[in-house]
């Protein structure tokens, strides 16, 4: 979206210096929006039922599974590794610590690709993510 892309004013060097938790913060929103839009196009469910279904795509264990199945480049694996290894003092309520770390890595990768405007690759990964999530349902 052009409107949102105009909000991104940092260059790649500045984005690389951000905390991976910042990438994950952005990536969480990007992935959630993608899933909500995908479900609103694919289903005729009411918002509550779509929300319940969306949880199956966005919960930590699903994101951890997706990350492990994606075919990533070396650079993308490094971004995910940085996201996974970032110290986070938040304890997950409904996930194992390992799943939470890998879901943070997944969200960091999504956020990084979004912030660096790698839109074509971001779209590929989001589409693959949905395919992986649906195979795992």
Which residues participate in catalysis according to the annotation?
28
Structure tokens at 130: 């949905």
Task: Report how many helices (DSSP H) and strands (DSSP E) the chain contains, helices first.
Answer: 8, 0
* Closest alpha carbon to 18 in 83, 72, 81: 83
Instruction: Specify whether the backbone of 117 is left (phi greater than 0), alpha (psi in -120 to 50) or beta.
Output: left
């Amino acid at each position: 979206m052009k409107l949102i892309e105009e909000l991104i004013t940092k260059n790649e060097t500045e984005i690389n210096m951000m905390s991976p938790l910042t990438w994950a913060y952005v990536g969480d929103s990007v992935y959630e929006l993608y899933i909500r839009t995908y479900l609103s196009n694919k289903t005729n469910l009411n918002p509550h039922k779509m929300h319940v279904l969306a949880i199956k795509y966005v919960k930590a264990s699903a994101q951890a599974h997706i990350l492990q199945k994606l075919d990533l480049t070396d650079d993308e694996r490094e971004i995910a590794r940085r996201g996974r290894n970032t110290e986070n003092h938040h304890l997950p309520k409904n996930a194992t610590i390992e799943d939470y770390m890998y879901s943070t890595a997944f969200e960091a990768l999504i956020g990084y690709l979004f912030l660096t405007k790698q839109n074509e690759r971001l779209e590929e990964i989001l589409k693959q993510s949905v395919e992986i999530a649906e195979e795992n349902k």
